[in-house]
Structure 1
Amino acid sequence: MTYVQGFLIPSHDKAGYAKMAAEAAPIFQDHGARRIVETWAVDVPDGKRTDMKRAVALEDGESVVFSWIFYDDKAAFDSAHEGIMKDERMKMPESPMPFDGKRMVFGGFEVVYDSGDGGAFGFVDGMVAAVPSDKREDFAAFAEGHGALFKEKGALRIVDGWGADVPAGKVTDFRRAVDLAEDETVVFGWIEWPDKATRDAAWAALMSDPRMASNKPTWNGPTAIFGGFAPVFDTAHA
């Protein structure tokens, strides 16, 4: 089963972050990463209870990065992680990093729905949510149903992952990001679009589509977090 490592990252330096990502990517690829994508915040709304800004304790002058790495499966990720940690090329640089690692949020997810590679994209809707742990199959079915609607309206690709390894962090983590309950699991997903205009038009149309209302979300709506992002680095389209 395809495995995704997902991230939310606070960064103060867009150009520096993109440069760092491009320099680090070959190391991850040498150890088995299939594709690495980094996207920069364009539209990250405030939430009443949770949101992506609070998820990374965002500070003034920073933006949220929504990122993911594809692996063939969890075994491939585990092997890659072990190799990367031993790789001398991963030594910390002397210059300051373009993000705060202490507030970086990360986790591993098993892909339960993937509509298929749609090629290069210009905008992405990112989502993290909490789903009852006994509703994995329902979540996958929901993702597939909604995925078809998004594709119909111009989306290039829809991917949804089920939390498999979501560690607790000292400062921030995915669990706190969605105020996770004991009987819930974190899900991580995204929708790729050609551009923001296509996305905006699609959402406007879908909000009045009765099929959206009939396919009830399985996640906890009040704690789900969302944002719109533009790609700054993609190993598949570098």
Structure 2
Amino acid sequence: MTFIQGFLVPVPEGNREKYREMAKSAVPMFEKHGMVRMVECWADDVPHGETTDMYRATKAEDGEIIVFSWVDWGTKEAWQKAHKAFSEDEEMEAPAEMPFDGMRMTFAEFDTLGEAGPGGNSAYVHGYVAPVPNAGKDAFAEMCATMREVAIDAGALRAVDSFAPSIADGKITDFKQAVKAEQGESVAFGFTEWASKADYEAGMAKMREDDRMPAPGSDMPIDGKRLIFGGFEVLLDTAQEG
């Protein structure tokens, strides 16, 4: 199991390479304090929703795209140790110039509900954030387990679902606001990794035909109208960097 720090970041479209370089420059410090893996994904197909979406989640402005990102710390204990070390490390410095508005970056820590797949070199990611009723956590976890199985059978490299029962209020944005979470709801963060966009598109077609998928109109353990999601190109993956 993994312990994930998940992010949604609004980035001006012209700052793609600046953002990648900023993220890459942080890798040595993160690895020094125990990071297992960092993945940064650049929006490719992120739809606008009727109720909410990843743009509204970050209060994105005209000309900004969404970065979907996660850092794997392995365990919650490792993250807590790193968090404390960051505040004490004299080498820890913020970039002189940020390629995005950090005040609108949305982030939180998530415990893994489940994961599947052998992994491998991924180039495309489907990511989501969802509101989950606390009373329906087990039903949601069961649905996710089935979906992971279907995704891997359809060609996905890896699928992960995670859950945060408690998220701090943000000054401008946070994951609760992102999915309009109501009282008695928590937030889930998950992703599926694919070798390429072509594999993702072919895999999604297979998944839609799979009898294990929920039938259209069937009861779901989450409010699908507040589910936010999108397809992303992998911009940086420390597991694949030289």
**TM-score, normalised relative to structure 1:** 0.94
- Of stretches 83-92 and 115-124 in structure 1, the one that deviates more from structure 2 is 83-92
Please report how far the alpha carbon of residue 78 of structure 1 lies from its aligned counterpart in structure 2 after TM superposition: 1.0
Number of matched residues? 237
* Aligned-partner residue type, residue 33 of structure 2: H
1:237 to 2:240 alignment? yes
2:25 matched residue in structure 1: 23
Unaligned runs of 5+ in 1: none
1:41 to 2:21 alignment? no
1:210 matched residue in structure 2: 211
- Of stretches 44-53 and 195-204 in structure 1, the one that deviates more from structure 2 is 195-204
Please report how far the alpha carbon of residue 165 of structure 1 lies from its aligned counterpart in structure 2 after TM superposition: 4.4
**TM-score, normalised relative to structure 2:** 0.93
| SS at structure 2 position matched to 1:102 | helix
1:81 to 2:83 alignment? yes
Mapped partners of 1:166, 1:31: distance in 2: 23
1:221 matched residue in structure 2: 224
Mapped partners of 2:116, 2:195: distance in 1: 15
* Aligned-partner residue type, residue 227 of structure 1: G
| SS at structure 2 position matched to 1:186 | strand
Please report how far the alpha carbon of residue 117 of structure 1 lies from its aligned counterpart in structure 2 after TM superposition: 4.2
| 1:150-161 equivalent positions in 2, closer than 5 A | 150-161=151-162
Task: Check the 8 A contact 2:133/2:184 in 1, yes or no.
Answer: yes
Task: Check the 8 A contact 1:39/1:65 in 2, yes or no.
Answer: yes
* Aligned-partner residue type, residue 120 of structure 1: N
Mapped partners of 1:117, 1:41: distance in 2: 24
Please report how far the alpha carbon of residue 216 of structure 1 lies from its aligned counterpart in structure 2 after TM superposition: 5.7
Report Cα offsets for 1:164-201 as digits up to 9, x if no partner.
Answer: 44221111110000000111110000000111111112
Task: Check the 8 A contact 1:107/1:165 in 2, yes or no.
Answer: no
Going from structure 1 to structure 2, the CA distance change for 1:216 and 1:155 (only over 3 Å counts) comes to farther
**What is the CA RMSD across the aligned residues, in angstroms?**
1.5
Please report how far the alpha carbon of residue 205 of structure 1 lies from its aligned counterpart in structure 2 after TM superposition: 2.8
Please report how far the alpha carbon of residue 145 of structure 1 lies from its aligned counterpart in structure 2 after TM superposition: 0.8
1:122 matched residue in structure 2: 123
Mapped partners of 1:33, 1:126: distance in 2: 21
Mapped partners of 1:159, 1:136: distance in 2: 16
Task: Check the 8 A contact 2:117/2:156 in 1, yes or no.
Answer: no
1:172 to 2:179 alignment? no
- Of stretches 81-90 and 148-157 in structure 1, the one that deviates more from structure 2 is 81-90
* Aligned-partner residue type, residue 227 of structure 2: A
Mapped partners of 1:117, 1:10: distance in 2: 31
Going from structure 1 to structure 2, the CA distance change for 1:218 and 1:188 (only over 3 Å counts) comes to same
Report Cα offsets for 1:79-121 as digits up to 9, x if no partner.
Answer: 1111112223332233x21111100000110001111441110
Please report how far the alpha carbon of residue 212 of structure 1 lies from its aligned counterpart in structure 2 after TM superposition: 0.6
* Aligned-partner residue type, residue 2 of structure 2: T
1:187 matched residue in structure 2: 188
1:11 to 2:23 alignment? no
Task: Check the 8 A contact 2:22/2:95 in 1, yes or no.
Answer: no
Between the aligned residues of both structures, percent identity stands at: 42
Report Cα offsets for 1:116-167 as digits up to 9, x if no partner.
Answer: 4411101000000011112222222211111111111111100000114422
Mapped partners of 2:76, 2:219: distance in 1: 30
1:131 matched residue in structure 2: 132
